[in-house]
Structure 1
Amino acid sequence: MRAELSRRWQSLTRAMGADREASQRVGETLLDAYSGPDRHYHGLKHLEFLFGEIDQHSGRISDLHRLELAAWFHDWIYDTQRNDNEARSADTALAMLEEMRVSPNLRERVAALIRMTRSHTSSGDEDDDLFLDMDFAILGAPARVYDQYAEQVRAEFSWVPAELFDAGRAEFLRSVLARKRIFLTEIYEARLGEQARDNISREIDRLEG
């Protein structure tokens, strides 16, 4: 999986005309970060999943390079004991993309999209909404896959006592379930909305059971 993702990174950075040496160095740093032993969910498989979603909907995406870069950098920093991972990932992306000689405009737009993953609220831009839905698409996965995801998230928060984790996780899930729509785009809501509600309700029942 790492080799395949590395090839994807190289293909992207070549297509963008990014600095080759810097891109290689940043790519290895990214892959190392996502390969960390504490990345039970937010690891290489999450990246692979996101790129599968991007490939599936590539014809709808206006700026493919921007979404691919956002996918790579959005969970660069993932520390479950902090609440500023998105902002830190965005700031790091800005610095690394500058090193790669990526244009200032694209750097800023990538960072802005990464910051949006904190709230997952619509900006009114179709690319933004598609990316946020892709990041949330696991919520609408088949029940077995979703249950595995829930277990992986729990493992990432293994330092949190069970009672506190269950209460916090249930609160988050209820906030998602309370939305008029789980997903921002019609295509994701139609495809995954019902399954996502079933999955979330089932996990809440388990957490509060």
Structure 2
Amino acid sequence: MTSLPDRFRAAARGAGATAPDADLDAAANYLLGRWSEPQRHYHDVTHLASVLDVVDRFAGLAPDPDRVRLAAWLHDAVYDPRALGDANERDSAEFAEGLLLSLGVPEEVSTDVARLVGLTAGHATEESDPDGELLCDADLAILASDDERYVAYTSAIRREYAHVPDDAFRAGRTQVLTALLELPSIYRHAEIRAEWEDRAQANLKAELEDLA
């Protein structure tokens, strides 16, 4: 099995990085350190690997899959459960662009990866953005999981927000789920939607009932 640092190096090279392999490996290990921070119970290395696996599986749907892979690595590079609004996504996007530029990734590519990272704030994409659609679909893949894994996911999210009182958490979580259900569809790519949409819709609706 290919290691995560190897996968990062391959994606960076595919996106045009010119830095030495040692620098790419150092960046990957630095990112893995961020993904392993103690406040993360769901947004951790397991989530990163899961998103990368979905991107790899459906890479043929994206014109620039290596950009999507890099965006997957960087989309939660900054993650503070106490942050307000879209601050984590904005900070992650800014961090992504700076890191990739430092690794010799062309400016146009670095800017585009940062744009992709920013999409994960609301998971809303433009009509013609297959790269963005794949990243968002991969990030939301957990929503279509089986009952046991979905319960583990929601429990991990609650632990990340342990500082939030129950009433406030229920209100906030309800808002998040409702916003997802109000999207034209949870998944954008037709192939992914056909496989996962019904299950994800059922999971979200069942969670909303529990929260109520």
**What's the TM-score bracket when you normalise by the shorter of the two chains?**
over 0.9
Residues 77 and 86 of structure 1 are in contact (CA less than 8 Å); yes or no, is this contact kept in structure 2?
yes
User: Which structure 2 residues correspond to residues 55-204 of structure 1 after superposition, within 5 A?
Assistant: 55-82=56-83, 83=85, 84-123=87-126, 124-204=128-208
Moved over 6 A (4+): none
Partner residue, 1:46: 47
Identity %: 31
TM-score normalized by structure 2? 0.91
Amino acid at match of 1:80: P
Question: Partners in 1 of 2:166 and 2:64 — Cα distance?
Answer: 42
Question: Partners in 2 of 1:30 and 1:85 — Cα distance?
Answer: 15
Deviation string 1:165-186 (CA, Å, 9 cap, x unpaired) is 0111012212222334222221
Q: Structure 2: where are the runs of 5+ without partners?
A: none
Cα offset, 1:127, TM superposition? 1.6
Cα offset, 1:10, TM superposition? 2.8
Partner residue, 2:19: 19
Secondary structure of the residue aligned to 2:69 is helix
Q: Structure 1: where are the runs of 5+ without partners?
A: none
Question: Partners in 1 of 2:134 and 2:11 — Cα distance?
Answer: 19
CA RMSD, Structure 1 to Structure 2 (Å): 1.7
Question: Partners in 2 of 1:47 and 1:38 — Cα distance?
Answer: 15
Question: Partners in 2 of 1:132 and 1:61 — Cα distance?
Answer: 12
Residues 22 and 99 of structure 1 are in contact (CA less than 8 Å); yes or no, is this contact kept in structure 2?
no
